[in-house]
Amino acid sequence: MPRRTKAQSEATAAAILAAARDLYARRGYAVVSVEEVAAACGVTRGAVYHHFGSGPGLFAAVHADVTAGVGAAIERATDGVVDPWESLESGCRAFLAAVVADDARQVVLVDGPAVLGWARWREDDARSSGRLLDDVLAELAEAGRVRAEDVAATSALLSGAMNEAALWVAAAPDRDRALAQAWEALRRLLRGIAA
């Protein structure tokens, strides 16, 4: 049997990741088997293990992919925004909207901490959206526009508030209304750090 090319291997891994992402987002990690993921993209269970090592390894890859998508949503929302305060507000709002969306909510907010543990969950969050919050707060602090003697502490507090708000929105019966309410509360909180 001929060996697969690197491109074919990458295409198989991408198909597995996409199928797992869809299934985990819709149904949750706990009820989706590796066999079901394999069947959804027409590969063997062995192919899943070859590319991702294990069920938790596959979930970790999906979680990293979804959180990267949240970071990308923030970058799109702030692209071209010149004023750093406007960038902070636009980025925070984009984070809330992206993380409670149907394709992210279950993976990031529900399964992520349970499957990966808090340390790994926080690493993915910091790599995708946390770094953007750190950067804009540092820019605002340097310009004297926020009262933040310690930017890292301020970033941690805002990040925690946004993650809790996202959990609250995700559990709400009317997510759109809850998202609007959470955003208004967050805007008031942000005004509290303005210089």
pTM (whole model) above 0.75? yes
Tell me how far apart the alpha carbons of residues 137 and 146 are, in angstroms, rounded to a whole number. 8
Query: Is the pLDDT at 44 greater than 80, yes or no?
Result: yes
Tell me how far apart the alpha carbons of residues 129 and 132 are, in angstroms, rounded to a whole number. 5
Query: Is the pLDDT at 120 greater than 80, yes or no?
Result: yes
pLDDT, tens only, 164-173? 999 999 999 9
Query: Is the pLDDT at 116 greater than 80, yes or no?
Result: yes
pLDDT averaged over the chain?
A: 94
Query: Is the pLDDT at 2 greater than 80, yes or no?
Result: no
pLDDT, tens only, 86-106? 999 999 999 999 999 999 999
Q: What is the pLDDT of residue 191?
A: 93
Q: What is the pLDDT of residue 3?
A: 62
In order of their start, the domains of the chain are: 59-191 (1.10.357.10)
Query: Is the pLDDT at 162 greater than 70, yes or no?
Result: yes
Query: Is the pLDDT at 63 greater than 50, yes or no?
Result: yes
pLDDT, tens only, 125-134? 999 999 999 9
Q: What is the DSSP letter of 146?
A: B
1 falls in which pLDDT band (50, 70, 90)? very low
Instruction: Name the amino acid, one letter, at 187.
Output: R
Tell me how far apart the alpha carbons of residues 122 and 124 are, in angstroms, rounded to a whole number. 5
- Alpha helices by DSSP H, 79-174: 84-99, 105, 112-116, 118-125, 131-142, 151-171
C-alpha dist (Å) from residue 86 to 103, 133, 179, 181 = 26, 12, 19, 19
Instruction: Give me the half-sphere count of Cα atoms (radius 13 Å) on the Cβ side of residue 57.
Output: 9
Calculate mean pLDDT across residues 42-46.
96
Calculate mean pLDDT across residues 67-90.
97
